Chain A
């Protein structure tokens, strides 16, 4: 039996990167927000980095793929029709609990792809319009870096100095300098000095299994404490089943399963989706009604379509000396945008970044690192392992993915989560443009690794567990025929329903999206605050 609760002003679904930023912003203006999160709080003292067998946690409780991890808060994803497996995490903090915190912004040209390159679409907003919100988000998250990068317009000062390079970083820098290619210390959401009551990073290495120091900015420690101090209500283990609508077609609230598994109803004036580029279309498609037979807010047919990942090729150089690559944040050091902007003479449109990844631990090395080529067993094992361990530098070739309607998320006809809610099914094919782009990136990455002194280079042409970035499935636009939300994240079909996560991205750029997703969430929050009276309905 459902208990009707008092109607809240704003209901946010999902306590990850965008949900946290948005909620905090509204709470600053005294607006009462409730957030429902299907996962729970993660205790930083429970991260396994203090345990002897820390590396093994990646094989179970800290596996990046929910289909293997299968924690209670996870939902399964049918990803058999995709060469890239979506990776998401459900908790207060969302996927930022496990991210590597590489934090570049989209660039100005990323918002004008159609005008500049004749493909994809233009965004209904510009880098300049987002800039104050990029800056605000950087202040809230605490960013390590340094201004002066010629790959970006001038930026506000970073909060703390850039990450140390270590021997590994210095080695690859030599390669970039020799090639004359752009490189720069990445903006990263990892503190190199104490900031805002949080500790500096002690370079322990495996950011992906959680930061017990509080140096890596996961939103459970950046935004959420402040939002809660300002009166936000956060309900954990609250799994939303569907969004309900009124007879006039406005969103009414949600039905959700509480911690005891009982169905509850929560009404709201505004409903805000922050469930990532797979969770959000899934919820919309699960919210069918007489008014919305094809899923909520889906008159365009675009909910779930135009799914964009970042296709990754991984290129690992093996060097003759030990590089101390286990020291320092394992996913972040420097990046290169030498091949970012379109140059049609290369044979493809748009471009890619290189993200330099540090070394792998002993187990990860034996199991094959980023290129997934395990060290052979038997007589050659010791020799080959010793040649590879702590002697690798990996370039992650991060390619911009174009929006294609056939790449999509639908509901699986059979698979459900533990509450019986239909699970998402992903269909995705790598485009010819991406294939050519990654091949170019692999060749360039090989060159720079060799220039840095690599004796041998291994390649994984397409990394499967690489679906960290889920974008495009409820895209922004100016017309209800070709988009799901407008320039302020409001659904064309349902004006009091907002979407603020990576689903709304029009194009994917060639960098990690979280900085831009959070800036958009703050931009949308700001707009709602300005029009609060009007939108309260």
Chain B
């Protein structure tokens, strides 16, 4: 994935983006060596993906509004000012109320996060795509088949 922190915005306005970053840090929170999805810059990935689809633009625009409204309704505060437990509570409400939005939010957060080379490296996959290097595996040891070879035919003769 490209250097997301310097990409120019496609769809989200600055305030929406700030909210989104905060939301993403709740979807995939920081844990140990793993950064939160917001801090990693996944908002730029989502911005690009959403910008290409009218349906996604609508879902995300409405979804972010619902997060804002729910935050105000429950805690009389903007989402970005809430405590961690409060943010999770708001998102769980929105997940129930707007399942279609929430599903694409989670799908694209995971997609952007787990295709990022930093994360791939942390997962111990050598931080690289499958080709051109591939992987090495030892050839199958045919002696493993000795037991099975002793069996009588298990196909029905015709």
Interface residues of A (CB under 8 A from B): 47, 49-56, 59, 107-109, 111-112, 116, 126-127, 146, 148-153, 161-166, 169, 173, 177, 182-185, 192, 201-206, 212-213, 322, 324, 326-328, 337-338, 340-341, 361-363, 365-367, 374-375, 377-379, 381-383, 389-390
When C-beta atoms are compared, the residue in chain A nearest to B155 turns out to be A107
B14 within 8 A of A: no
With A203-B134, A379-B88 known to touch, is A150 a contact of B149 (CB < 8 Å)? yes
**A165, B140: Cβ atoms closer than 8 Å:** yes
**A362, B155: Cβ atoms closer than 8 Å:** no
**A377, B26: Cβ atoms closer than 8 Å:** yes
Q: Which of A52, A152, A184, A377 contacts B129 (CB 8 A)?
A: A52
**A161, B140: Cβ atoms closer than 8 Å:** yes
Interface class of chain A by DSSP: loop
Chain B residues, Cβ within 8 Å of A185: 140, 145
What's the least CB distance linking B63 to chain A, in Å? 14
**A182, B148: Cβ atoms closer than 8 Å:** yes
Q: Which of A152, A326, A338, A382 contacts B125 (CB 8 A)?
A: A326
**B158, A328: Cβ atoms closer than 8 Å:** no
**A109, B138: Cβ atoms closer than 8 Å:** no
Chain B residues, Cβ within 8 Å of A56: 111, 115
B 131-158 binary contact with A (CB < 8 Å = 1; else 0)? 1111111111010110111011111111
**Beyond known contacts A52-B1, A177-B147: 19 more, CB 8 A cutoff:** A50-B130, A53-B1, A56-B111, A107-B156, A108-B158, A109-B155, A126-B158, A127-B158, A146-B142, A150-B154, A150-B155, A164-B139, A183-B148, A328-B137, A362-B120, A377-B28, A381-B29, A382-B28, A382-B29
Q: Top 9 closest A-B pairs, CB basis?
A: A202-B134, A204-B130, A382-B31, A164-B137, A362-B114, A327-B135, A366-B110, A109-B156, A204-B134
When C-beta atoms are compared, the residue in chain B nearest to A367 turns out to be B110
**B156, A116: Cβ atoms closer than 8 Å:** yes
What's the least CB distance linking B57 to chain A, in Å? 17
Chain A residues, Cβ within 8 Å of B60: none
**B114, A363: Cβ atoms closer than 8 Å:** yes
**B139, A192: Cβ atoms closer than 8 Å:** yes
**A365, B154: Cβ atoms closer than 8 Å:** no
- The complex places the Cα of A226 from the Cα of B125 at a distance, in Å, of 39
B75 within 8 A of A: no
- The complex places the Cα of A169 from the Cα of B138 at a distance, in Å, of 11
Chain B residues, Cβ within 8 Å of A127: 158
**B131, A50: Cβ atoms closer than 8 Å:** yes
Chain B residues, Cβ within 8 Å of A340: 154-155
With A54-B130, A326-B135 known to touch, is A381 a contact of B140 (CB < 8 Å)? no
**A150, B158: Cβ atoms closer than 8 Å:** no
Chain B residues, Cβ within 8 Å of A327: 135-137
Chain B residues, Cβ within 8 Å of A177: 147
B 94-138 binary contact with A (CB < 8 Å = 1; else 0)? 000000000000110111011101011001110001111111111
**A374, B137: Cβ atoms closer than 8 Å:** no
When C-beta atoms are compared, the residue in chain A nearest to B147 turns out to be A177
With A49-B129, A152-B155, A341-B156 known to touch, is A366 a contact of B113 (CB < 8 Å)? yes
Chain A residues, Cβ within 8 Å of B139: 161, 164, 192
When C-beta atoms are compared, the residue in chain B nearest to A204 turns out to be B130
**B115, A55: Cβ atoms closer than 8 Å:** yes
**A205, B117: Cβ atoms closer than 8 Å:** no
B27 within 8 A of A: yes
When C-beta atoms are compared, the residue in chain A nearest to B120 turns out to be A362
**B140, A150: Cβ atoms closer than 8 Å:** no
- The complex places the Cα of A154 from the Cα of B109 at a distance, in Å, of 51
- The complex places the Cα of A89 from the Cα of B134 at a distance, in Å, of 25
With A150-B149, A378-B26, A381-B28 known to touch, is A366 a contact of B154 (CB < 8 Å)? no
Chain A residues, Cβ within 8 Å of B158: 108-109, 111-112, 116, 126-127
**B129, A51: Cβ atoms closer than 8 Å:** yes
**A148, B135: Cβ atoms closer than 8 Å:** no
When C-beta atoms are compared, the residue in chain B nearest to A329 turns out to be B137
What's the least CB distance linking A235 to chain B, in Å? 31
Chain A residues, Cβ within 8 Å of B138: 164, 166
**B115, A363: Cβ atoms closer than 8 Å:** yes
What's the least CB distance linking A314 to chain B, in Å? 19
Q: Show 8 residue pairs from A and B whose CB-CB distance is below 8 angstroms, ordered by the A residue.
A: A47-B131, A55-B111, A146-B145, A151-B154, A161-B139, A185-B140, A363-B115, A382-B29
- The complex places the Cα of A59 from the Cα of B153 at a distance, in Å, of 43
When C-beta atoms are compared, the residue in chain A nearest to B103 turns out to be A374
- The complex places the Cα of A165 from the Cα of B46 at a distance, in Å, of 38
Chain B residues, Cβ within 8 Å of A164: 137-140
**B27, A377: Cβ atoms closer than 8 Å:** yes
